[in-house]
Structure 1
Amino acid sequence: MTAPLRRVTGESGRAPRPPAAPGPGSAPGPRATEDALTAPMPRITDEPRTARLPRVTDEPPAAPFPPVDDETMALRVVPAGEPVGASAASPGPAASPVTPGGRAARRKAAKRRGGRRTGAGPRTTTAPPAERDPQRPLTRVEARRQARLRKPSPATLASRAIGELFITTGVLMLLFVTYQLWWTNVRAHAQAGNATHRLQDDWASGKRSPGVFEPGQGFAILHIPKLDVVAPIAEGISNKRVLDKGMVGHYGEAPLKTAMPQDRTGNFGLAAHRNTHGEPFRYINRLSPGDAVVVETQDTYFVYQVTSSLPVTSPSNVSVLDPVPPGSGFTRPGRYITLTTCTPEFTSKYRLIVWGKMVQERPRAKGKPDALIE
């Protein structure tokens, strides 16, 4: 900062009188020199200077209130009639109209205008609420809002129900397929094996069976060496009594009654499952002419030889069981065998037929035929 001016005074407090200036061409006299040497020294004081030298300038007289310096931070007096926050020399945005009333009235007016205004500045907006402190307990409104958010919508509930229905249906279908393809075979093999052992035990003990058998009663054992099939033969073709138990059924009931192996002529017709429930005839499509099929009874082995087959035919084509079946290649009555099953696999749309003719009749007392020994 610049120090204020100070006035130089003498001991008496009065300003010293300047010596008279000598005239041109004259030298100072001895008296003037003596007065100058004996005059007291001026005293420097801190008293403020009251007199101000006049300023000579061409500028017009200053206004009663000088213009506001934008850089200064000093206070100034606002002239009457000038709005607060504005200057005549530096015009700015118009100030907001003053709302009459107290602070509460001004706040309400600011809210109606869309936000609080500070002077002539831009409109201010309410800051977003800060995140809720997790340690602070929820208010009733917040708790209701969160409960509504956690509650699933009807569309969500419907989609969940449909999804659970599909999953349940899929599981049930999987269990059903497992039951049909695996468990039925396990159970049928066990039942067929028990029936075979029972027949063999009865034959070994000397119990003779009558010539007429009841539906579901076992009376013989079928051997197909090429397919490694050993299955009991029971009377009838009932699913519940015979076929579903893994046994081979004999067409012995009208209107599809066929001959027995010991008959002198006729067609011995048999049926069995190709898939599930023991599936004894699953691979009879692999049989070819010359393959052996043996029927073992209480007293005799009846050996048949495969001659021909019919890959596909209608389920209603019962002529394949005739004494001389058409399409089999047989031309006259004889002792024949017919194997029937469903085709294609895992369906029952069509029937697969295999025919054979008897080539050997061997008593059990003479031992097994060569077809079972090889």
Structure 2
Amino acid sequence: MVRPARTRVPVVVHGHPARRHPARRHPLARLLWYAAEATLTLGLVLLLLVVHQLWWTNRQARAAAESKVDSLEREWGEGEGEGEADRRGPSRGAGAVDDRGAPGGDTTAPPARDTPARNSPARNTPTLGDPARPTPDHAYAVLRIPRLGLRVPVAAGVSKGGVLNKGYVGHYPRTAQPGRPGNFALAGHRNTHGEPFRHLDRLRPGDRMTVGTRDAVYTYTVDKTLDRTSPRDGGVIAPVPRSAVRPGHGYDRAGYYVTLTTCTPAYTSKYRLVVWGKLTAMRPR
């Protein structure tokens, strides 16, 4: 006996087949879902920004700074003698004192060539003429700090776009040129964009640094540090550097100084870290 096939009869509601509708979410649940999606998207965007700032900008700036140093040394006809060990080390900040110093006279004589500096004006006299003042944002010198494995271009000015964000160290306007009487004052990023002054806090009295230009190589020796001061402490880059915020920090007589400034603590720009040094030797090219 063959049984007839079963057929389903659709249920008709008001003349239309009935359909099952998924359960609708409560408005509050939908709102929480959208908020979670927005938060996740925002988190991913912020993560990409952090990666860009902390990794990509450093990578680009360091490569550009290294290339500029090589270009300057080829232009000066310098071989791979001086600073070759430094070149293999890592290059490692933002900060700048807002006020500007001005170069001034000095009764202390410059150091003799490749000899320690002397304080007697009668013993030594200048051996090099005043260098031509570089144009703004133009790299014209190379700073080397062996303890930090640092080899970085020095450019005129401390603008972010033109100098600091390129991974360069900036020379404060109206401060002395390298090897000249007064205060040769520099600024560099501590974090992002090459961060050349990332480990500036590791410098100690007695550490040496050199500043090479087309005409000469100047050796400065770290003498003092100021671990924290205001971003507007213009005294630290004055011709005779002395903090206007932290009494007792700095100098009280003219000389041949170098000043390095950067932000502190790391990843902030609340204060400034300052390192001072004195010119101790010079070698014409």
**TM-score tier (shorter):** 0.7 to 0.9
**1:267 matches 2:141:** no
Q: Secondary structure at the match of 1:211?
A: coil
Query: Any runs of at least 4 consecutive aligned residues in structure 1 with deviations exceeding 6 A, and if so which?
Result: none
Q: Secondary structure at the match of 2:198?
A: coil
Shift of 1:258: 0.4
Indicate the RMSD between aligned Cα atoms, in angstroms: 2.0
Match of 1:169 among 37, 42, 45: 42
Amino acid at match of 2:202: R
Deviations 1:294-333 (A, max 9, x none): 1011121100000111101000101101111224443311
Q: Counterpart in 2 of 1:330?
A: 251
The correspondence of residues 206-285 of structure 1 with structure 2, limited to 5 A, is: 211-252=132-173, 257-263=174-180, 265-285=181-201
Q: Counterpart in 1 of 2:54?
A: 181
Between Structure 1 and Structure 2, which shows a larger proportion of strand residues? 2
Change (3 A) 1:363 1:157: same
The correspondence of residues 84-233 of structure 1 with structure 2, limited to 5 A, is: 136=8, 139-140=11-12, 146-147=20-21, 149-204=22-77, 211-233=132-154
Q: Secondary structure at the match of 2:20?
A: helix
**1:320 matches 2:233:** no
| Bigger relative contact order (CA 8 A; separation at least 6) | 2
Q: Counterpart in 1 of 2:211?
A: 295
TM-score by length of 2: 0.73
Amino acid at match of 2:282: E
| Distance (Å, rounded) in 2 between the aligned partners of 1:204 and 1:212 | 21
Q: Counterpart in 2 of 1:8?
A: none
Count of residue pairs the alignment pairs up: 220
* Greater Rg by CA: 1
Amino acid at match of 2:58: N
Q: Counterpart in 1 of 2:117?
A: none
Amino acid at match of 1:197: D
| Distance (Å, rounded) in 2 between the aligned partners of 1:329 and 1:214 | 30
Amino acid at match of 1:182: W
Q: Secondary structure at the match of 2:162?
A: coil
TM-score by length of 1: 0.56
Shift of 1:138: 5.8
Q: Secondary structure at the match of 1:337?
A: strand
Change (3 A) 1:137 1:295: farther
Q: Counterpart in 2 of 1:97?
A: none
| Distance (Å, rounded) in 2 between the aligned partners of 1:150 and 1:350 | 58
2:218 touches 2:281 (CA, 8 Å); kept in 1? yes
Deviations 1:153-208 (A, max 9, x none): 42232122101110011001101111111011001011111211221122129xxx
1:328 touches 1:355 (CA, 8 Å); kept in 2? no
What 5-or-longer segments of structure 2 have no aligned partner?
Answer: 1-6, 79-130, 243-247
The correspondence of residues 6-85 of structure 1 with structure 2, limited to 5 A, is: none
Change (3 A) 1:144 1:351: farther
| Distance (Å, rounded) in 1 between the aligned partners of 2:27 and 2:17 | 21
The correspondence of residues 299-310 of structure 1 with structure 2, limited to 5 A, is: 299-310=215-226
Q: Secondary structure at the match of 2:54?
A: helix
Q: Secondary structure at the match of 2:67?
A: helix
| Distance (Å, rounded) in 1 between the aligned partners of 2:269 and 2:8 | 71
Identity %: 46
| Distance (Å, rounded) in 1 between the aligned partners of 2:182 and 2:164 | 23
Deviations 1:347-372 (A, max 9, x none): 001000000000001123xxxxxxxx
